[in-house]
Amino acid sequence: MKKVPLESRRQFLQYTALSGAFAGFSLPALSAQSDIDYRDILPESMTQAGAGFSNYGQPSPYENKIIRWISANPDTPGNGVSWSPLHELQGTITPNGLHFERHHNGVPDIDPATHTLLIDGLVDTPLSFTVEALKRYPQQSRICFIECGGNSNSSWRSRPVETAAGYTHGLVSNAEWTGVPVKYLLQEAGIKNNAKWAVAEAADGASLNVSIPLEKLLDDAILALYQNGERLRPENGYPLRLVLPGWEGIVNVKWLRQLRLTEVPVMSRDETAQYTDLMPDGTARQFSFEMATKSLITSPSHGMTLPDNPGVYQLTGLAWSGQGKISRVEVSADGGQSWVDAELQQPVLSKAFTRFSLPWQWQGQYAVLQSRATDETGYVQPSRDELFAKRGSHGFFHFNAIISWEVSEDGFIYHVYPD
């Protein structure tokens, strides 16, 4: 495999300075004209009034292909996912309309005026909260990612799925969540000494319920009312959802109606039949809440083609860790033989998307692009071989290995397993 040079920022700037026609193109001077009809030379948009104001804005019609991709079984239409188009997005915030979805029995219609949250079980005083009452508690905001435990599940298969980056790795999104720290509500109810877990139940048609260690609820858990500034979207738990920063999606329970404190986990369907990992020795790896450190090159990626004018391209992607901050992202263009540090967009926030980027010079060579994230604990994202060595080959959930894009000499890009 040929080595492909990665460019440092300094090299990139030298490169552009040396090449005036690299992306822009120069124009001949316009000669003076006195009889110009400006309708002929101005764009049409400048010759007429534009559209009026709107109460709630929508994306440009020119971007109507930038959508969540829906994967749901027609026989059980409310059970499935829709993928966030990460390959079409930039920055770190996922706009609310494109936040990934994972539902077990569809999106319930819940009137916030009648919805309540019950806190009961091993508490001194069971309490019930209306949504209006919750708004009187102190609220906190946190920008953090939520990733489905089943994200990237096709990467456990023996052949790579040839789909756009977001449509196979996009069950992860990043938003500013605002709401009431759960500890305030639990403290008000009074926690009995033997309480160690809480069973969180959703008000959806799946009666989804899962067990959550009390320790996490007393740490950084938020009972979210707002998502990127506005009230939660229906598909993200309106009117109330749990947000457990850094923990797998299933325990960020949407449409939350109850937290019942218990001594032991309830071993519900949703934490036994799903979201556990079958290990090589036949045991189940369970309660692997914390999403491991991971990264993904979003551009260039599968399905894109590099035009026939070789030159500098911006490699860019996202890294995230349930353990804290991303401390480093390295990029390889030769399938992992050599690595170069990418630039991390500041500020780097804990348990949140971190955007990385690096200029790359492509002159028509074969290449295999990879990214490898390291978090502040020193944990390094494993190769696919390393992950399989540890977890066996029967995985479905919790895939966090390095993801690879092959660039062919004619500029097409494929999803590959080079190791």
**β-strands 284-285, 80-83 pairing:** unpaired
* CA–CA gap between residue 259 and residue 222 (Å, rounded): 13
Exactly one of 163, 178, 252, 323 binds a second copy (CB under 8 A); that residue is 178
Q: Which stretch binds a second copy (CB under 8 A): 69-77, 266-274, 365-373, 382-390?
A: 69-77
**Which one of 138-146, 244-252, 281-289, 387-395 is the stretch in contact with a second copy (CB under 8 A)?**
138-146
Q: Which of residues 240-259 bind a second copy (CB under 8 A)?
A: 255, 257
Span of 103-111, 146-154, 377-385, 402-410 interacting with a second copy by CB under 8 A: 103-111
Question: What residue spans of 365-416 are helical by DSSP H?
Answer: 384-391
Taking CB under 8 A as the binding criterion, the range among 26-34, 245-253, 331-339, 382-390 that sits at the site for a second copy is 26-34
Q: Which residues of 372-399 are buried (b: 16+ CB within 10 A; e: fewer)?
A: bbbbeeebebbbbeebbeebbeebbbbb
Amino acid sitting at position 106: G
Instruction: Please report, for residues 311, 334, 409, the alpha-carbon distance to residue 361 in angstroms, rounded to integers and kept in the order given.
Output: 5, 13, 13
Rg of the chain in Å (alpha carbons): 24
Under the binding rule (CB under 8 A), the answer on residue 54 touching a second copy is yes
CB of 385 to a second copy, least distance (A): 33
Return the DSSP state at 300. S
Residue whose CB is less far from a second copy, 89 or 401: 89
Burial (0-12, 13-18, 19+ Cβ within 10 Å), 44: exposed
Least spacing, CB of residue 49 vs a second copy, in Å: 5
- Rounded least distance, CB 242 to a second copy, Å: 17
Candidate list 122, 172, 199, 203; residue touching a second copy; CB under 8 A: 203
Contact in structure between 242 and 251 (CB atoms under 8 Å)? yes
For position 36 contacting a second copy by CB under 8 A, the verdict is no
Q: Which two tokens stand for residue 130?
A: 């209306």
- Minimal distance in Å, beta carbon 374 to a second copy? 21
Which residues in the 323-382 window bind a second copy by CB under 8 A?
345, 347, 349, 355, 357, 359
- Here's the x/- map for a second copy, 259-298, by CB under 8 A: it reads as ----------------------------------------
51 binds a second copy (CB under 8 A): yes
Handedness of CA 76, 233, 128, 222 (dihedral sign): positive
Mask for 305-324, x = binds a second copy (CB under 8 A) = ------xxxx-x--------
Regarding 31 and contact with a second copy (CB under 8 A), the answer is: no
From the list 113-121, 147-155, 278-286, 377-385, the region that binds a second copy by CB under 8 A is: 113-121
Interacting residue with a second copy among 118, 161, 278, 340 (CB under 8 A): 118
CA proximity to 290, closest of 202, 405, 212:
212
Segment interacting with a second copy, rule: CB under 8 A, options 151-159, 176-184, 374-382, 397-405: 176-184
Q: What is the torsion angle, in degrees rounded to the nearest 10, for the CA atoms of residue 217, residue 219, residue 223 and residue 226?
A: -150
Given a contact cutoff of 8 angstroms between Cβ atoms, the answer to whether 394 and 285 are in contact is no
Nearest approach in angstroms of CB 368 to a second copy is: 21
Exposure of 256 by Cβ count < 10 A (0-12 exposed, 13-18 middle, 19+ buried)?
A: buried
Q: Is 82 in the site for a second copy (CB under 8 A)?
A: yes
Q: Which of 132-140, 265-273, 391-399, 411-419 is the region at the interface with a second copy (rule: CB under 8 A)?
A: 132-140
- Residue 193 within binding range of a second copy, rule CB under 8 A: no
Q: Output the CA angle 368-373-374, nearest 5 degrees.
A: 145
Site membership for a second copy, residue 112 (CB under 8 A): yes
Question: Which pairing describes strands 256-262 and 116-121: parallel, antiparallel, or unpaired?
Answer: parallel
Of positions 1, 3, 14, 22, contacts a second copy by CB under 8 A: 22
Stretch that binds a second copy, among 38-46, 270-278, 279-287, 400-408 (CB under 8 A): 38-46
53: tokens are 């104001």
Which of 1, 36, 141, 305: binder of a second copy (CB under 8 A)?
Answer: 141
Residue with tokens 């959550």: 212
Cα 266-267-273 angle, rounded to 5 deg:
150
The answer to whether the beta carbons of residues 403 and 297 sit under 8 Å apart is yes
Does 49 interact with a second copy (rule: CB under 8 A)? Answer: yes
